[in-house]
C-alpha cells in the first residue's frame, strides 16, 4: 500500500452501491475526482480468496493513483481516464487486453471507447486483436480521425499508422484464461447450456470489463471503457463497451458513465445515455438516475451489471444489481477507497 493513499477495502460494500460523496476542492475551487470499475457479477467472499482480494485491491489502487495524479496536478480528465484504464488493461486480473477472455475460436477480441464531456467528441474501437492498449486506439480514433468507431483490420491498420504499440494475439492469452476456455469448451461439447460470461467454469462468474470516469480541475468530465467481451463469444461479437451511449457516455452538463455487464442489454436500453437523459430531462440526481436505470430498466430487460459515474459537482455513483462489483474512487483530498462486495 502506498503511504500517500489510505486504502479501505470495504467488504460490506452496500454503503457504496449507490453513493454521493462530498469531496474536498482543489486550490482553484474545482473538484478533481476519479472513479473506476473492474467488472461486476458473482463477486463474493466465498468466490474470492484473501490473496485474490488483495491482488484486486492493489490493482485498483494503482489505477486510481496513476489517474488521480494527473487531475490532481491540473491535467485533463481525458488523460486521467486513459491512464487509469491502461493500468487495468495491462493487468492479467481483468477481462480487458492482457487477461481478456477467449472467443469460441480461442482468440482474443477487444473493444474500447472514450468520450469527452466538454465537446461530446468520442472514439471507439471494436474486434481488436493486436493493439496492446485498445483504449489508446479509441482515443486516437477520436482525436486523429474523422470517425467515431473503427473495427477489425481497418482499426488495426489505423493503429499502426498513428504509431500505437502492436502485439501478437498470444500476448493477451493468459494461462488462467486458456484454462477457462478449455474447461468451457469441454462442458459445451458435453451439452451444457451456454450462458455467456456467467458460464466461465471453475471461476467466479463476473464481468471483468474495466472503466473510469473523471472530473478535472477545469470542470470537464470524461469516461472510458475497455473489455474483452463475454467468455466463449462468437468471433466478431461486439458488446456495449465500444458503443457510445450504451457502455460509455460523458457530457459536462450531466455526467460521465462507464458500464459493465451483459452488453446486449446495455445496447438495447442505451443505458449510459439514459442516465444522462434522466438527469437532463427529468431532473433526477446522478444517484437517482443510475438507480433507476440499473435497478429498473436493466433489471426489467433481464440483464445484470453495473455502472460507475460522476456528475459535474463531483458526486459519485457506483451502482450495480449483481452480488458485487470491483470499484473504487479517489476524492478531492486524495483519499482512496476500493470495494468489491455487495454484502
- Report, as residue numbers or ranges, the catalytic residues: 209
Q: Which of 72, 223, 64 is nearest to 142 (CA)?
A: 223
* Unique residue bearing C-alpha cell 459535474: 312
Cell 470499475 sits on residue: 37
Query: What count of Cα atoms within 13 Å lies in the side-chain half-sphere of residue 261?
Result: 33
- Radius of gyration (C-alpha) of the chain in whole angstroms: 18
Q: Which of 305, 323, 295 is nearest to 239 (CA)?
A: 305
Contact 251, 135 (CB under 8 A): no
228, three cell numbers: 474483452
Q: How many residues does the chain have?
A: 343
Closest CA to 39 of 314, 288, 241: 241
Amino acid at each position: 500500500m502506498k503511504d500517500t493513499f489510505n486504502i479501505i477495502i470495504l467488504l460490506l460494500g452496500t454503503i457504496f452501491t449507490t453513493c454521493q460523496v462530498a469531496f474536498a476542492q482543489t486550490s482553484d475551487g474545482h473538484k478533481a475526482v476519479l472513479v473506476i470499475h473492474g467488472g461486476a457479477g458473482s463477486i463474493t467472499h466465498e468466490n474470492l480468496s484473501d490473496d485474490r482480494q488483495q491482488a484486486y485491491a492493489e490493482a485498483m489502487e494503482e489505477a486510481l493513483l496513476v489517474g488521480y495524479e494527473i487531475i490532481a496536478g491540473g491535467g485533463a480528465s481525458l488523460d486521467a481516464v486513459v491512464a487509469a484504464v491502461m493500468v487495468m488493461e495491462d493487468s492479467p486480473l481483468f477481462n480487458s487486453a492482457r487477461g481478456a477472455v477467449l472467443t469460441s475460436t480461442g482468440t482474443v477480441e477487444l473493444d474500447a471507447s472514450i468520450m469527452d464531456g466538454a465537446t461530446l467528441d468520442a472514439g471507439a474501437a471494436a474486434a481488436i486483436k493486436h493493439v496492446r492498449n485498445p483504449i489508446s486506439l479509441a482515443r486516437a480514433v477520436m482525436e486523429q480521425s474523422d470517425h467515431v468507431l473503427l473495427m477489425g483490420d481497418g482499426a488495426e491498420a489505423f493503429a499502426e499508422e498513428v504509431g500505437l504499440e502492436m502485439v501478437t494475439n498470444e500476448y493477451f492469452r493468459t494461462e488462467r484464461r486458456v484454462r477457462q476456455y478449455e474447461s468451457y469448451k469441454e462442458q459445451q461439447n458435453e451439452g451444457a447450456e451456454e450462458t455467456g460470461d456467467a458460464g466461465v467454469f471453475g471461476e467466479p462468474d463476473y464481468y471483468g470489463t474495466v472503466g473510469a470516469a473523471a472530473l478535472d480541475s477545469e470542470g470537464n468530465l470524461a469516461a472510458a471503457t475497455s473489455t474483452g467481451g463475454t467468455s466463449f463469444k462468437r468471433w466478431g461479437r461486439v458488446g456495449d463497451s465500444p458503443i457510445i451511449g450504451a457502455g460509455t457516455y460523458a457530457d459536462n452538463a450531466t455526467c460521465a458513465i462507464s458500464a459493465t455487464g451483459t452488453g446486449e442489454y446495455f445496447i438495447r436500453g442505451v443505458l449510459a445515455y439514459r442516465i444522462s437523459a434522466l438527469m437532463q430531462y427529468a431532473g433526477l440526481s446522478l444517484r437517482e438516475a443510475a438507480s433507476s436505470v440499473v435497478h429498473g430498466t436493466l433489471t426489467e430487460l433481464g440483464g445484470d451489471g453495473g455502472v460507475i459515474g460522476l456528475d459535474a459537482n463531483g458526486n459519485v455513483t457506483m451502482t450495480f444489481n449483481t452480488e458485487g462489483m470491483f470499484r473504487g474512487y479517489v476524492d478531492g483530498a486524495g483519499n482512496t477507497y476500493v470495494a468489491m462486495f455487495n454484502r
